[in-house]
């Protein structure tokens, strides 16, 4: 039995005149999580060219790949503030072996959305190893010439417009000044911490 993918279903419904806002919400919910965009890419690749083009039009401006409602709210705020700035906004993409919540490659800007439970030093779902890993992750990106911006969940909830404004301003500044980045001389610690850190043998 053939089962259609979410994006195929959305294209079918769009051709029948279904409400676009509902289809956008459906696609956002269907392709969530760190691997959401990878799955979407696979589903798109399997479509015939004409339907793939229709799917691309339908997906224009749709945020996929977020791991939580918090991330989705932050990404939408960032996109709103970026306006017509010609950049690519990737969600849950990898840089230097690490996955970041938002990656804006042209400006070398990375954004992390930190919930207290997972990222605070005394968060209920944290331990010392993951807390340490977060620091190595940001350090490695900074040494490679990326600007790392981090926002707490309470800030995304309370002032999403200010989060978006700061990210957009940083993007525009970096585009104008083109930060330098290291192409050589990288240290062992510039690679994912689970490759070398003695606290993380289970990751190897």
Residue 110 Cα distances to 16, 125, 177, angstroms: 39, 23, 16
The residues facing 113 across adjacent strands are 151
Q: Are 36 and 87 part of one and the same domain?
A: no
Both 73 and 55 in one domain: the answer is no
Q: How many domains does the chain have?
A: 2
pLDDT at 62: 80
Residues 159 and 93 in one domain: yes
Does any domain span residue 200? no
d(CA 79, CA 76): 5
The answer to whether residue 48 sits within a structural domain is yes
Does a structural domain hold residue 91? yes
- Considering 18, 40, 59, which residue would you say is the last residue of a domain? 59
Do 97 and 51 fall into the same domain? no
List, in order, residues 6 or more apart from 65 with CB less than 8 Å away: 31, 32, 33, 34, 36, 37, 40, 91, 92
Residues 166, 96 within the same domain: yes
Same domain as 141, residue 42: no
pLDDT at 119: 46
The CATH number assigned to the domain holding 163 equals: 3.40.960.10
Q: Are residues 166 and 95 in the same domain?
A: yes
In terms of domains, do 78 and 164 share one?
A: yes
Distance CA 203, CA 98 (A): 13
Does residue 175 share a domain with residue 91?
yes
Number of H helices and E strands in the chain, helices first, is 9, 4
Q: What angle, rounded to 10 degrees, do the helices at 49-59 and 6-15 form?
A: 90
Start-to-end Cα distance in the chain:
39
Point out the domain boundary residue: 18, 37, 59. 59
116 and 25 in a common domain:
no
- Whether 44 and 86 map to the same domain: the answer is no
Instruction: Note whether residue 189 is domain-resident.
Output: yes
Tell how far CA 81 is from the center of its chain: 16
Same domain, 142 and 174: yes
Asked whether residue 201 is assigned to any structural domain, the reply reads no
Sign of the CA dihedral with 64 first, then 78, 147, and 105 last = positive
Residue 166 burial (CB count, 10 A): 17
Across the 204 residues of the chain, what is the mean pLDDT of every consecutive 10-residue run?
82 92 89 85 90 89 82 94 92 91 96 72 60 89 94 94 96 89 76 79 56
Residue 41: give the domain boundaries.
Answer: 6-59
Q: Using CA atoms, how far apart are residues 181 and 107, in angstroms rounded to an integer? A: 12
Domain termination residue (choose one: 59, 78, 98): 59
Kindly state whether residue 204 falls inside one of the protein's structural domains: no
Q: Is residue 161 part of a domain?
A: yes
Sheet holding 109-114, edge to edge: 90-95, 98-104, 109-114, 147-152
Q: Residue 37 domain-assigned?
A: yes
């Amino acid at each position: 039995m053939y089962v259609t993918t979410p994006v195929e279903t959305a294209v079918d419904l769009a051709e029948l005149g279904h409400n676009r806002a509902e289809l956008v919400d459906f696609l956002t919910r269907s392709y969530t999580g760190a691997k959401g965009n990878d799955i979407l890419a696979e589903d798109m690749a399997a479509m015939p060219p004409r339907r793939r083009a229709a799917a691309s039009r339908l997906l224009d401006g749709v945020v996929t790949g977020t791991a939580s409602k918090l991330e989705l709210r932050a990404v939408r705020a960032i996109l709103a503030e970026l306006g017509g700035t010609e950049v690519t906004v990737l969600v849950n993409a990898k840089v230097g072996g690490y996955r970041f919540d938002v990656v804006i490659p042209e400006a070398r800007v990375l954004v992390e959305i930190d919930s207290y439970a997972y990222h605070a030093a005394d968060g209920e779902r944290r331990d010392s190893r993951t807390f340490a890993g977060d620091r190595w992750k940001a350090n490695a990106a900074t040494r490679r010439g990326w600007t790392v911006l981090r926002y707490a969940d309470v800030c995304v909830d309370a002032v999403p417009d200010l989060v978006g404004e700061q990210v957009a301003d940083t993007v525009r500044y970096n585009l104008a000044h083109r930060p330098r980045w290291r192409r050589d001389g990288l240290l062992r610690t510039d690679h994912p911490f689970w490759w070398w850190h003695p606290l993380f043998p289970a990751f190897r």
